[in-house]
Structure 1
Amino acid sequence: MATPFKLCILEAESKRILAFDRIILSKWSFMSRLRNFLAAGLWTCVVTTLLAQTPNGTLNIQVDKSVGASSPILHGLMTEEINYSYDGGLYAELIRNRTFQDDASSPVHWSIAANDKNAATIDIDKTTGPSTALPLSLKVSVAAASTTDPAGVQNDGFWGIAVRPHTQYKASFYAKADAGFSGPLKISLIDNSTGVSAASAVIPSLSQEWKRYSVVLTTKDVKPSAANHFALTTTHPGTFWLQLVSVFPPTYANRSNGNRQDIMELLAAMKPSFLRLPGGNYLEGDHIPERYEWKKTIGPLVDRPTHPSPWRYHSSDGLGLLEFLEWCEDLKMQPLLAVYAGYSMKQEHIDAGPALEPYVQDALDEIEYVSGGTDTKWGAIRARDGHPKPFALKYVEVGNEDWFDKSKSYDARFAQFYDAIKKSHSEIQVIATTQVTSRQPDVLDDHYYRKAEQFFDDVHHYDKTSRTGTKIMVGEWATREGEPTPDFNAALGDAAWMTGMERNSDVIIMHSYAPLFVNVNPGGMQWKTDLIGYDAMSSYGSPSYYAQVMFSNHRGTQIVDSTLTNADKRVFYSVTSDPTKGVLYLKLVNATATKQQLDINLNGAKHIALSAKLTTLHASSPTETNSITEPRKIVPTDSSLSNVSSHFSHDLPPYSIQVVELNVR
């Protein structure tokens, strides 16, 4: 038996001979040396060495050859009210159940602010409210109160109310007082543990008629915390009624009735090109009367009646149609408008023909509200609502996931919508949610919710799709592994699938991950796995989120001719370029547990910069992830490659997603 020292020498010699023989020696010479090793009883050492010499994968890139134009709007967002995505999420409102309609029998999330030295009761009063849209209110009856012991009502927010130092909060409510009571009312943000007010303001008196009141609450040097509640109290006995109680922190772009700053910043980093709105199931509702009725979501908040969402909680409709459009404006996205098409999720539908016509007209009105000039009926109403300038609208989707409609009525319903939209707006691209034969849609919406292995095995799904006729939008998709947000294996599945979409982005013109958001508090999630997580105080991006950022931030305009051979089946790639910038973007995914080496050949380039920018997302285990407590455990890192040439080798770390940005001419 050879000693360890001899084995080391022999292994090194075998490696040297193997490398030399690959270049110069004939098969006969190599086999002659191999027989000598075998005769010496060194079989194990040589076989082990031979097995270690697995061939590298080879990526051939024809830099000067485009096989198609990459869609300029490939990467976008899909959104709907699920997992407290709007109320309790993106929409910045801090008061939960602000219109007292979350539960018809009880003012949930509201409670009495009183102690043993004072007394009060609260009830839902369905006989009075500030508008026809909100005909009910919260009746607050204070039996005993004083300057030292005020009484009233309080709200616990969406799993707390985030309070930060030196911050202004805009509070407002509608109220009226009973005869004999005129106030005052004190509005406060109060620490749950200490009972100390972080900020407060006073309304000196109330009217006996419904009226809107507003104040600004300004914090000083307080500790940032979500362990706070809202209180509205008085120092005198009496009865008053409340409706539409609201508190807003500072919002993104300082929008009135706007969105959370931190979540919008995460979205802005994705550089999305479009927003598919207002959602999927949220558009349809469980029942026809519970569908998203856009006309009830515009105008003053007091004129929005709210409605039940299909995910077992009530929607305030504070984030209405105009707010969706302003969201697009803030992030420089184009709206992709989904219109209700006569089908709701509990298998209720309207047949094509005269019965469907009012819904078709409603869709045409909605299109006009979005894109019509102020000389049109609904364009003028949009201007009245504060936005005279029309929004550019290029895509309209008819319905959502209509393959679930057991009546098989979608084909005829789609044709009726298609004809009406094209007649009035020939420039609009009309999207179908499932295969139809009555008309040829401009775009077909495909949805995929899968495990990582399924995406790994299907990355060539669109390689042979026809390049003529209907384009594809992958309007909902996700690797569903990890909760509440994806783990790194899901990110690998997502990135692998995105390489396939990007390589075929001449026919796949848009894609959007779903669901986009989740409130990570207990009870906040109805669907796993979700891209961005948050609680009342903070938010974070999952590993899949950062994969999206990497792909979207490195977009080429052309799909480059390329082939990958001899690589592990869990190595994935795409190549795009921007000839005007002289930049080639190489996306690489290694979903294996071992390092993978690629020999990269850059053919057809006249000039190649010697170094390249390298962005890497990496985890030591596929189950690693980010969380509300470890929000940046896995984030992209930037470095550089210095060995770039027309032919160079590159090592892909195990469990990694990389973008190589090469300067070529």
Structure 2
Amino acid sequence: MTSKWLGVMCASVMMASPAAGFAQESHPDAAKLTIDVKDIVHPVSPMLYGLMTEEINHSYEGGLYAELISNRTFRGDWAGLQRWEIARHGNAEATLSIDKTTGPSAALNYSAKLVVASATESNVAGLGNPGWWGIGLKAHTEYKGSFYAKSESLSGPLTVKLIGNKSGLTMAETKVDLKGGDWKQYTYTLKTGSIAASAENHIEFTVSQPGTLWLQSVSLMPPTYANRENGNRIDLMEKMAAMKPTFIRLPGGNYLEGDKLQDWYDFKETIGPLVDRPGHQAPWSYWSTDGFGLLEFLEWCEDLKVEPVLAVYAGYSLKGEHVKAGKDLEPYVQAALDEVEYVTGDVSTKWGAERAKDGHPKPFPLHYIEVGNEDWLDHSGSYKERWPQFARALHTKYPQYKLIATEPVKATDKLEEPEVVDDHYYKHTADMLDFTKHYDDAPRTGPKIFVGEWATLAGSPTPNFGAALADSAWMTSMERNSDLIIMSAYAPLLVNVNPQGSQWGTNLIGFDAQTSFGSPSYYAQVMFAEHLGDGVPKSTITEAGPRFYYSATVDSKTSTLHLKFVNASDKEQPLEVELTGLTGLHVAKLTSLHGASYEATNTITEPSIVRPLLSSSQVQGSSWSHTVPALTIQTVDVVLK
């Protein structure tokens, strides 16, 4: 029998879309979709959807990592200190330079040197910092800061102010009592009043008397997610949580390797007190302070209640250098073993004790270790020699963990066999739509597949709706083949939309110093992860259009059928759905994401042009009709009980 959907729209969620009702009487040109909800062909991987980030697009520095001060460790270039300016008010006189002879630690053995020749209470001098293209402030909010200072013939108050760029008005102010003498750490707190939320602010540190002041490791933190010390931006964490990820691949792709061997991700220099982290050159043109280090990565996982997929450096860097297998590679293999111990070892182990010393005695969960990143780019072919050395060492010491290879490898014995291979795909819209059958007939023997990076490249700085359609089509393929594809992660995840903040064209979530937004592809990701079962039922479809895609999964715990429909055509797609063995009245819910065209998108100023719309109704019996509108992504949940 045929049922009609009596859609009840959720008024709280708005979207430019055609009416999302299910309908409708039988259509003579409808595609025929048949699903046997009781015949489960294979399970769905419980870790299918996760996250991948790296230090690109200011994803960490100036993004997820909540630090508001840019270049807090005073890195310089040919033009002088980056992002810092001398503040000279009235008739004050001062000069600024980089002093390579003194700093608060062996790691930060240099500093900014401020020489104040003339200053008074009404003519102050100091340093100003613009933040990451602004400092985002909200009303009645507390911001906590710190810095290391050394002073000569200079004591008394140092004034810290947050100042509006346009108005010049003080948004918050405090004073710090400088003690004089050798290096000391100072802390301060700034609290805003009844101000308008804005990113157009900067910070100044000034003094009202002559003297010399050295500064290093200057920090200002807003409230963070879960009140985590040295933690993450709340809005970005909330958007990630909504994606319902099961893992985070860390510390990321190219960020693991660096451009040169000297720039590899050495976890030992990213842990411990911030003042003891020297930082390193990241491969996407800017410096990483490593304030967001390995422990912060792991705590990020903890806060999202997911587990890490730990990538260890495998001896290859992006500009073609590699470490020769054998004795030369041994220190890097040992570093990998040590890193796993830092993540998982109890406090009786050397590196587990270091983790406890850093404030986290409890080990982190771990199931997968990835050896390297995109080693197919190593044209020397050295991965086939480097992989066995890592695999044998890791499998021997940690047989409980599964290893991920970054290209297919030939194993001589069990210790060299990877359990998983990492495949990456970046494609344009039409190519991604045509790629959806890639794994349908792939052999099910050998390693499983981790699609560790993938995206449809259309739209900038975030995907347009055409990319969202192709991304969704690809996700139906991954769900359909989730007996083979056990994990996946869109990349890049984050982008600072300031033109100077972005190095990659198409990225999932956009942000500036104040706010953030989800792209159409972001909402598609949320929809797919939120409506996912644990088994794939037997299904067939006939007479569907060439750009119509679907997937079906069943949740055995809630007895819910999760359907995904993707209509990437500009023509509607009528459907006749047959659910074998289903009788009676069943609650059903629909989520619909629609774009007026492939080019439709969201932006930092218009974040809700493309956004999900919800409706709910009932289906009667096993057969019903439905039409998927043109340019639309839908999830349909049918309760089978």
Normalising by structure 2, report the TM-score.
Answer: 0.94
Alignment of 1:91-170 (within 5 A): 91-101=65-75, 103=77, 106-170=80-144
Deviation, 1:203, is 1.2
Equivalent residue, structure 2, for 1:238: 211
Alignment of 1:447-526 (within 5 A): 447-526=424-503
Alignment of 1:59-458 (within 5 A): 59-101=33-75, 103=77, 106-178=80-152, 180-438=153-411, 439-458=416-435
Higher relative contact order (CA 8 A, sep 6+): 2
Cα distance in 1 for partners of 2:560, 2:206 equals 62
User: Does the CA contact (< 8 Å) of 1:556 and 1:577 recur in 2?
Assistant: yes
Deviation, 1:611, is 3.5
Equivalent residue, structure 2, for 1:20: none
User: Does the CA contact (< 8 Å) of 1:102 and 1:313 recur in 2?
Assistant: no
Determine helix, strand or coil for the equivalent of 1:210.
strand
Note if 1:538 corresponds to 2:515. Answer: yes
Cα distance in 2 for partners of 1:374, 1:104 equals 46
Across the two proteins, how many residue pairs are aligned to each other? 612
The residue identity in structure 1 corresponding to 2:458 is: E
Unmatched 5+ residue regions in structure 1? 1-52
Determine helix, strand or coil for the equivalent of 1:572.
strand
Cα distance in 2 for partners of 1:194, 1:533 equals 27
Cα distance in 2 for partners of 1:644, 1:74 equals 32
The residue identity in structure 1 corresponding to 2:604 is: I
Cα distance in 2 for partners of 1:194, 1:636 equals 38
Equivalent residue, structure 1, for 2:30: 56
Cα distance in 2 for partners of 1:195, 1:236 equals 23
The residue identity in structure 2 corresponding to 1:623 is: E
Equivalent residue, structure 2, for 1:567: 544
Are the structure 2 counterparts of residues 161 and 561 from structure 1 closer, same or farther at C-alpha, using a change threshold of 3 Å?
same
Residue-by-residue CA offset, 1:317-353 (whole Å, 9 max, x unaligned):
1110000000000001110000000000110001111
Cα distance in 2 for partners of 1:63, 1:92 equals 46
The residue identity in structure 1 corresponding to 2:608 is: R
Deviation, 1:147, is 1.0
Cα distance in 2 for partners of 1:539, 1:614 equals 26
Equivalent residue, structure 2, for 1:40: none
Cα distance in 1 for partners of 2:246, 2:436 equals 23
User: Does the CA contact (< 8 Å) of 1:175 and 1:206 recur in 2?
Assistant: no
Cα distance in 2 for partners of 1:105, 1:524 equals 19
Cα distance in 2 for partners of 1:261, 1:579 equals 34
Q: 2:608 aligns with which of 614, 626, 632?
A: 632
Residue-by-residue CA offset, 1:120-170 (whole Å, 9 max, x unaligned):
111111110000000100001111111112111110110011111100000
Cα distance in 1 for partners of 2:433, 2:405 equals 27
More displaced 10-residue stretch of structure 1: 180-189 or 527-536: 180-189
Cα distance in 2 for partners of 1:333, 1:68 equals 24
Determine helix, strand or coil for the equivalent of 2:248.
strand
CA RMSD of aligned residues (A): 1.3
More displaced 10-residue stretch of structure 1: 196-205 or 363-372: 196-205
Cα distance in 2 for partners of 1:97, 1:504 equals 45
Cα distance in 1 for partners of 2:580, 2:589 equals 19
Q: More helix per residue: 1 or 2?
A: 1
User: Does the CA contact (< 8 Å) of 1:432 and 1:445 recur in 2?
Assistant: yes
The residue identity in structure 2 corresponding to 1:83 is: N
Cα distance in 2 for partners of 1:113, 1:437 equals 61
Residue-by-residue CA offset, 1:449-488 (whole Å, 9 max, x unaligned):
0012112112111111222321000000000000000000
Residue-by-residue CA offset, 1:517-568 (whole Å, 9 max, x unaligned):
0000121110110000000000000000000000001110001111111000
Determine helix, strand or coil for the equivalent of 2:577.
strand
Cα distance in 2 for partners of 1:456, 1:151 equals 59
Equivalent residue, structure 2, for 1:614: 590
Deviation, 1:267, is 0.3
Determine helix, strand or coil for the equivalent of 2:621.
coil
More displaced 10-residue stretch of structure 1: 319-328 or 467-476: 467-476
Are the structure 2 counterparts of residues 608 and 422 from structure 1 closer, same or farther at C-alpha, using a change threshold of 3 Å?
farther
More displaced 10-residue stretch of structure 1: 361-370 or 517-526: 517-526
The residue identity in structure 2 corresponding to 1:511 is: S
Cα distance in 1 for partners of 2:171, 2:525 equals 39
Determine helix, strand or coil for the equivalent of 2:524.
helix
Deviation, 1:116, is 4.3
Unmatched 5+ residue regions in structure 2? 1-26
Determine helix, strand or coil for the equivalent of 2:335.
helix
Equivalent residue, structure 1, for 2:599: 623
Deviation, 1:105, is 5.8
Normalising by structure 1, report the TM-score.
Answer: 0.91
Deviation, 1:609, is 3.5
Deviation, 1:643, is 4.2
Equivalent residue, structure 1, for 2:557: 580
Cα distance in 1 for partners of 2:379, 2:72 equals 38
Cα distance in 2 for partners of 1:104, 1:400 equals 32
Determine helix, strand or coil for the equivalent of 1:362.
helix
More displaced 10-residue stretch of structure 1: 309-318 or 199-208: 199-208
Cα distance in 1 for partners of 2:156, 2:290 equals 30
The residue identity in structure 2 corresponding to 1:318 is: G
Cα distance in 2 for partners of 1:305, 1:120 equals 28
Cα distance in 2 for partners of 1:307, 1:184 equals 33
Equivalent residue, structure 1, for 2:5: none
User: Does the CA contact (< 8 Å) of 1:609 and 1:662 recur in 2?
Assistant: no
User: Does the CA contact (< 8 Å) of 1:608 and 1:664 recur in 2?
Assistant: no
Residue-by-residue CA offset, 1:41-89 (whole Å, 9 max, x unaligned):
xxxxxxxxxxxx8621111101110110100010000010000000011
Deviation, 1:644, is 4.3
Deviation, 1:608, is 5.0
Q: 2:624 aligns with which of 648, 651, 659?
A: 648
The residue identity in structure 2 corresponding to 1:378 is: W
User: Does the CA contact (< 8 Å) of 1:609 and 1:664 recur in 2?
Assistant: no
Cα distance in 1 for partners of 2:524, 2:111 equals 46
Alignment of 1:542-553 (within 5 A): 542-553=519-530
Deviation, 1:115, is 3.2
Cα distance in 1 for partners of 2:127, 2:68 equals 16
User: Does the CA contact (< 8 Å) of 1:285 and 1:292 recur in 2?
Assistant: yes
Equivalent residue, structure 1, for 2:24: none
Cα distance in 2 for partners of 1:101, 1:186 equals 23
Determine helix, strand or coil for the equivalent of 2:436.
coil
The residue identity in structure 2 corresponding to 1:193 is: K
Equivalent residue, structure 2, for 1:592: 569
Equivalent residue, structure 2, for 1:36: none
Equivalent residue, structure 2, for 1:7: none
Are the structure 2 counterparts of residues 664 and 608 from structure 1 closer, same or farther at C-alpha, using a change threshold of 3 Å?
farther
Determine helix, strand or coil for the equivalent of 2:586.
coil
Residue-by-residue CA offset, 1:366-412 (whole Å, 9 max, x unaligned):
00000000010000000000000000110000000000101101011
